[in-house]
Chain A
């Protein structure tokens, strides 16, 4: 105890405990400095190719083979397309490993890509869903991208790819694909995304969290877009696609990314959030499907 001043008109009980002073200021200050430094380091060192969904971090799910109890209930309906007489999206709901899925099956559709603000009122667009990821730092497209033969982005950040060349859509997994050059030479389209299924085998990705997932799939030569109706991990989603019988699949932007599908009756079925994102990305890309305009009977 330090000697304390006292006036003649004061009294003081000597053994009385002083109110404990908070002595943790140094530690509190150090903690605050640490937090600030941590935030700065995170900002500086965070991965540059951060996609739009990377903030949706929850937890990693695990696949339990014992939960595979249902077989895919999705069948093609080419005959139905012929009856309808025009292109449309067939929609089927199924459940794989307890994961509810919506499967979009395009019939007589012409695939292409679109970059920018899509016209949501364009009746010719029967299906639209966001395709390539956009970098959070500079808004650039993640991975190689070709739009009508014009390369807009280069780089291999993701091994999954989709090439659309002369109405032939190829979904695959490869570090280098000659289809990129072919798309540039032949006015085609090309984009890259996370690979999910490669030749029937699940591809692991280091993406954490759960979200509504979407994928472009090739099953026995038939193209499908598959969407989870509940937030799922990458692993569980990829496993569900494998169990669905998909040969190759790449990821499409999921979560609340807006899109729509048009059924045989011309009814549009939107998915995702119709509100525009808070941040306007000029390079948002869409996988677009339009009516081929001819049906083979």
Chain B
């Protein structure tokens, strides 16, 4: 079975990336920044909601890998390393090559924490 890729195409360029190579995507006004596992960051000329739709439509169930957190973040759940609700800190890392710290609301992080806990029980 062919590996699924997320393809983000504009009139002038195209990004093709494997889902597991995406650490997170953050909103930057009308654009977003895609942070890769190789520590590169790529500016995408799409709003975060549009990227979410692409992930859903292109990746199908593989899109389960990604979690939308609030209005500003899409994260790859495989790289959730640390959650601190009080300090509103979320660290995404593979503990080898990269470590990224992002911020989210307490409620969102609380829900994320519960989700991870719940899935761990299953």
Chain A hits for B112, CB < 8 A: 11
- Provide the residues of chain A in CB contact with B35, threshold 8 Å: none
Query: Majority SS of interface residues in chain B?
Result: helix
Q: Return chain A residues, CB-CB under 8 Å to B59.
A: 15
**With contacts A3-B49, A9-B107, A9-B108 known, is A14 near B70, CB below 8 A?**
no
Tell me, yes or no, whether B61 is within 8 Å of chain A by CB. yes
A265 within 8 A of B: no
B66-79 contact mask (Cβ, 8 Å, vs A): 1 or 0: 11111110100000
Give A198 Cβ to nearest chain B Cβ, in Å: 75
Query: With contacts A3-B49, A3-B50, A6-B68 known, is A14 near B107, CB below 8 A?
Result: no
Quote the shortest CB–CB distance from B103 to chain A (angstroms): 10
Q: Is the CB of A11 within 8 A of B70?
A: yes
A8 touches B71 (CB 8 A): yes
Query: How far apart are the CA atoms of A17 and B56 in the complex, in Å?
Result: 9
Contact B70 A15 (CB under 8 A): no
Is B101 in the interface zone, CB < 8 Å from A?
Answer: no
Contact B55 A15 (CB under 8 A): yes
Pair A14/B55 contact, Cβ less than 8 Å: yes
Instruction: Identify the interface centre among B68, B74, B112: most chain A CB within 10 Å of its CB.
Output: B68
A-B contact pairs, 28 of them (CB 8 A): A1-B56, A1-B57, A3-B49, A3-B50, A3-B52, A3-B53, A8-B107, A9-B106, A9-B107, A10-B107, A10-B111, A11-B67, A11-B68, A11-B108, A13-B64, A13-B67, A13-B68, A14-B55, A14-B63, A14-B64, A14-B66, A14-B68, A14-B74, A15-B55, A15-B60, A15-B61, A15-B64, A17-B61
Residues of A within 8 A of B (CB): 1-4, 6-17
